[in-house]
Amino acid sequence: MKKGIFSLSAGVIIVLLVCVLYGSFFVSAHEDTDDTDMVYKYYKSIEIQPGDTLWDIAESTMTSEYDSVQEYVQVLKEMNNLDSDDIQAGQYLMIAYNDTEFLP
């Protein structure tokens, strides 16, 4: 008889523990989505001004998804089909930027 009560108690405790863990997972997942704004990636063309360098432009326009300016310079070169870091005033450069506002 004691063995049956012990088994029943252990089973109830296990079921309650599973329910608590399962419920806390959904509460945690729900909280994460409420606090985070959706970020959209956009592209725009900028005119290179006298004295601008690719590295200066990369440093001032780099978004948080890149780990370093060097990495973003490489992305800009690939995006704009550049073989070197040399850019000239009057040329246009395509850059990426992030915004929380959706622009259709």
Statement: residue 92 has pLDDT above 90: yes
Domain that includes residue 61, residue range: 40-99
Please give the pLDDT value at position 103: 84
pLDDT at 37: 80
29 and 45 inside one domain: no
Please tell me the total count of domains within the chain. Answer: 2
Residues ≥6 apart with Cβ < 8 Å to 53 = 85, 87
pLDDT (tens digit, 9 = 90+) per residue, 11-50? Answer: 767 776 776 777 776 665 555 555 578 989 999 999 999 9
Q: Which of 32-41, 52-61, 69-78, 81-90 has the lowest mean pLDDT?
A: 32-41
Place of tokens 């012990």: 6
Higher pLDDT, 1 or 103: 103
Amino acid at 94: M
> Is the pTM here over 0.85, yes or no?
no
Amino acid at 80: N
Q: What is the CATH number of the domain that holds 94?
A: 3.10.350.10
Q: Do 14 and 27 sit in the same domain of this protein?
A: yes
Say if residue 12 is in the same domain as residue 46. no
